[in-house]
Structure 1
């Protein structure tokens, strides 16, 4: 038992330190040199699938109204909202939008993955050569699309994953979410840089429209409610192994709302955790199991010490290997995401996170969750 715990903890520390060093080596991108000539710059279609986002959608549309990059259109696919979301979009298109805004009302039909359906129908109407996806509760900066277009022109990437964080934290629960989310964004960015992409986030994702068609869109994974981002990334990565890039730019950061209720948080994390069983590539599944074991190790070590099976020095080594390497990595990601104020919460997150990983790892084995007032499986 001692050898196993030490081996898992050491491997995890080496893995996390590798991510940390990889992140430091990813160059920060400055969107310079892109012109305004429509003939030489990509036309972008921003796709926003929404359901019951009346509270947030106008803020995002206002952000899009202030974009410094002029060559884009926006399709907002409304998935049968029961609030005033659609009327807000329609009114904005008529009165306030300085860009092409196309509301797309969707029929209220039964589907296993409403979000994938919304994105697919939007892309069928898209005029842009680049598809940029985000969510209705997000906020974007004025140079968001300029950074994406410039990065695409420089790299020719087939899929670009952008950074995502939360808006202003009001509670410790918000800060805990910020730290956890930073670990996912940072890990995804580093595995892309290492040539083995594992995760991305659909709140800030760009891909070439023709490539979406080449890989068959969401065919093969359209029966799964989640994974409109990662499953597509893996399909594109299979066809274009060097075509997946992370955009490390402050201008490209997208901010979304942290969950204010435990119920909403639970349903989202269960939805995320349920994806790993459907991966065709072995790497994400192996990584998920490895992270599960690494987070279980400190708990087992503490229990072993309390029960007399492990000595105190072994327990401290197991905890220390994980804590120190994680702190170095997470601090770097939080500073980039302009969340330096959340660095202090990292130790508290490290105390809670092993229990969190174990809980959702087990919860994901059950089927079904509620999302946007719908029961999904």
Structure 2
């Protein structure tokens, strides 16, 4: 048993160190404001019951240093004042703001429907998606536009983190989320994209149509980001890139309730069954086994099946490379204060991965007041 655990942990250590080195080698993108061309950007914001936050995001868009953009807010039958707030804002907005009320019809993926209908109305060459509870900096769009001009990327994945942490639960979420953003960034840099986040995603409108949009994955509630990315990466190899620049960071809110956190993570974990590429599926299984290894080692040591040195080696092979990698990502995301929480996250995370890996096998979860499969 100890040999198997050491092999799994050793491979995980090599994998994490390769991510760490890839991040260190990845240059920070420097924005050249004197762009030769300025693509028209359509920012799409699918919303449902975001009355408390949507105006803050619209204010952020008002303050953008890039002017060639329009905004479509697709309201998915909100039961609060979201739509009326957006409509009122549109009447005085200095940028083109188009509220798009959606009918309250049953659909497997409300967010994919919202994005698809918005793209059908979009006039921009580039589609940029974010969420109604996000905050963006003034140079967000100009950084994306400049990066697109430099790389001609078909899809650009941007960094996402959480807003100010007020509780230990918030800090734990920040560290865990940083691991996902960092892993997605580095696998893109290695030419093997695995994950991204729809809160900060950009792709060519033409490419969305070329790959058939969400066809083939529209039966799943989740995956408006990763599953689309996999389709684009398959059609356009080497044209999916991560935008490493602090000005491109998008911030969103942490979950304040365990139920909300559970439903989101279960929704995320359920996507792996829809992967058509072997790599993300293999990575999901590998991460599950790697996090299970130290748990099995500790249980084996407590039951007397494994010795203490072997158990410590299994744990160390996971913790040390992981700490090095997570620290770099958190510093980039301007979350240096959360570095001290990494060890606690590492203590909890193996149990978390095992729990959600098993929970994802079941169907159904609640999201924004709807029960989805």
What is the TM-score when the length of structure 2 is the normalising length? 0.99
Report the Cα distance in structure 1 between the residues aligned to 2:27 and 2:364, rounded to whole angstroms.
41
Report the Cα distance in structure 1 between the residues aligned to 2:179 and 2:170, rounded to whole angstroms.
15
Q: Which of 100, 107, 111 lines up with 2:107 in the alignment?
A: 111
Report runs of 4+ in structure 1 exceeding 2 Å deviation: none
Map Cα deviations across residues 199-255 of structure 1 (whole Å, 9 max, x no partner): 000000000000000000000000000000001000000110011000000000000
Are the counterparts in 2 of residues 166 and 258 from structure 1 also a CA contact under 8 Å? yes
SS for the counterpart of 2:294 is: helix
1:74 aligns with 71
SS for the counterpart of 2:98 is: strand
SS for the counterpart of 1:203 is: helix
Q: Which of 363, 369, 372 lines up with 2:365 in the alignment?
A: 369
Report the Cα distance in structure 2 between the residues aligned to 1:147 and 1:139, rounded to whole angstroms.
15
Task: Give the unaligned 5+ runs of structure 1.
Answer: none
Deviation at 1:33, TM superposition (A): 3.4
Deviation at 1:30, TM superposition (A): 1.6
1:33 aligns with 33
Deviation at 1:32, TM superposition (A): 1.5
Note if 1:56 corresponds to 2:57.
no
Q: Which of 126, 130, 138 lines up with 1:142 in the alignment?
A: 138
1:320 aligns with 316
1:185 aligns with 181
Alignment of 1:268-283 (within 5 A): 268-283=264-279
1:24 aligns with 24
Q: Which of 340, 352, 356 lines up with 1:356 in the alignment?
A: 352
Deviation at 1:31, TM superposition (A): 1.2
Are the counterparts in 1 of residues 33 and 142 from structure 2 also a CA contact under 8 Å? no
Note if 1:131 corresponds to 2:127.
yes
2:341 aligns with 345
Alignment of 1:149-228 (within 5 A): 149-228=145-224
Report the Cα distance in structure 2 between the residues aligned to 1:49 and 1:33, rounded to whole angstroms.
29
Deviation at 1:34, TM superposition (A): 3.2
Are the counterparts in 2 of residues 47 and 134 from structure 1 also a CA contact under 8 Å? yes
Deviation at 1:98, TM superposition (A): 1.2
Map Cα deviations across residues 255-305 of structure 1 (whole Å, 9 max, x no partner): 000000000000000000001011111111110010000000000000111
Task: Give the unaligned 5+ runs of structure 2.
Answer: none
Note if 1:245 corresponds to 2:252.
no
Q: Which of 70, 76, 81 lines up with 1:84 in the alignment?
A: 81
SS for the counterpart of 2:91 is: helix
Note if 1:289 corresponds to 2:282.
no
SS for the counterpart of 2:366 is: strand
Are the counterparts in 2 of residues 34 and 41 from structure 1 also a CA contact under 8 Å? no
SS for the counterpart of 1:292 is: helix
What is the TM-score when the length of structure 1 is the normalising length? 0.98
